[in-house]
Structure 1
Amino acid sequence: MLALDTASLRSEIQQRYDRALARSTDPAVVGADDSRYNWANEAKVQCGIALGFLKSSTKDETSIANCALAASLMDREPTPMAPSQPVAPVMPAVPNEVCSQKLAGILFFDFDSAQLPADAQQTVSFVTTNAGPCGWTGFDVVGHADRAGSDAYNEGLSERRAQAVAAMMTSLGVGGSITTSARGETNPRVPTEDGVRNPQNRRVEITVR
């Protein structure tokens, strides 16, 4: 999908997101004894992250690949087992692409705001769901700001953003230790001149240990 132009890619990702949203609320999927519900939730999160990047015309390879993978798995019909064969409970597999990532989630904030974005719960839920299967035991929550405003102000703003994300992680039951830190405007994703607003630089990154 990375070869598509931005508009076509956004349409493909949006279709997968909409399909995942529908499946995650479908009673037949929710109540099924298989992993389709888990994959639907994962596709919803990963496709949502990819759409967030595409708002600034950025093709994030990791979230796009994870979106496509989870969407394909949520559509896979389980193979029925013979009635005489005992069924053992199996934890849904987590793809290596997910567990091998150090960056487990990223949230983008509005200008001059520490209010959690609309997709915050989806991103944190993705971390919660995969922490156990992936063996993630600790998390670093790092806040960032763009280069509009003073250094001191942006340091405080990025700290408030990190604290808001860490609080949601705790409330949603993310296990393991959580540390927060603030980088202010010192580590932008997109280098800019001082005073320039950039949506990709107003962010919190969740990395795993």
Structure 2
Amino acid sequence: MRISLGAAMLAGTMTVLASPAAAQATPRSPLLELDRSELRTQIQSRFDTAVRASQSPEIKRSEDSRYIWASEAKVQCGIALGYLKSGRVDEESINKCDAFSARLAQIEPVAPTPVATGPVTPPACAIEPTVSVFFDWNSEVAPAEAQNTIQQIAASREACGFTRFTVTGHADSSGGDAYNLRISERRANAVAGLLESAGIPRSDLTVTGRGESELKIATADGVREPMNRRVEISASGQ
């Protein structure tokens, strides 16, 4: 059994980012017509809404796509905010932030399933194929929101039968090969440290850095692509 984690007991595919909908062309958001101050306010609002939704126990347990869209919106709105803080308007992340936020708002909750009589079968351990923790440029410090993901992974460990965890660090193409390899290793070790603090023994972890050799989004050399600055966490029951 080979799996990777997002939020504990997540149904569907996230990553945050490899869903079929994420691959489709995203329409231009009307938010791009706003001035910089109002644009940042609107993106921050969507980010805050997505964070609350992705942490909601009701949404995590839901059988619809709300958790997927909340996770997608959180990542894309966070990327858009990062660019805005550096003085850049990144149209792609803004378009996706607005599109995923709209999908999240339009989905109606699924009616609860009637409780069956007789013995109750525990739900299957259905979680993400891939979970990524994203880092700021030139940083090896895990963002504050990573702590919630780490705690969910640790909480699901026993229920899902996880015994081995792979923690793989990556970098974008903005630095030299040697530097990118080192920072990817430091990022992986930072996340491994959080997993240890959450109760997962170091002996259960395999920690590696891949530098810029496995870009999530292909770019030319020297590009500061936020999606490539990440640590991927995967787990298995063997």
TM-score, length basis structure 2: 0.57
Counterpart residue number, 2:147: 121
Deviation at 1:130, TM superposition (A): 1.8
Counterpart residue number, 1:31: none
Structure number with greater CO (CA < 8 Å, separation at least 6) is 2
Deviation at 1:12, TM superposition (A): 8.0
Determine if the alignment matches structure 1 residue 150 to structure 2 residue 176: yes
Question: SS at 2:184's partner residue?
Answer: helix
Question: SS at 1:186's partner residue?
Answer: coil
Closer, same or farther: CA 148–17 of 1 in aligned 2, 3 Å = closer
Counterpart residue number, 1:18: 52
Q: Indicate if the aligned counterparts of 2:167 and 2:207 stay in contact, CA closer than 8 A.
A: yes
> How far, CA to CA, are the matches of 1:164 and 1:51 in structure 2?
22
Closer, same or farther: CA 165–45 of 1 in aligned 2, 3 Å = farther
Question: SS at 1:123's partner residue?
Answer: helix
Deviation at 1:93, TM superposition (A): 3.4
Question: SS at 2:226's partner residue?
Answer: coil
Determine if the alignment matches structure 1 residue 137 to structure 2 residue 163: yes
Counterpart residue number, 1:85: none
CA displacement 1:139-191 (0-9 Å, x = unmatched): 11000000011100011000000000000000011367111001001110011
Pick one of 147, 171, 192 that aligns with 1:166. 192
Superposed structure 1 runs of 4+ greater than 6 Å apart:
10-13, 43-46
TM-score, length basis structure 1: 0.63
Question: SS at 2:199's partner residue?
Answer: coil
What 5-or-longer segments of structure 2 have no aligned partner? 1-19, 31-42, 80-91
Q: Indicate if the aligned counterparts of 2:215 and 2:228 stay in contact, CA closer than 8 A.
A: yes
Determine if the alignment matches structure 1 residue 93 to structure 2 residue 123: yes
Counterpart residue number, 2:211: 184
Counterpart residue number, 2:134: 108
Deviation at 1:5, TM superposition (A): 5.7
Closer, same or farther: CA 150–17 of 1 in aligned 2, 3 Å = closer
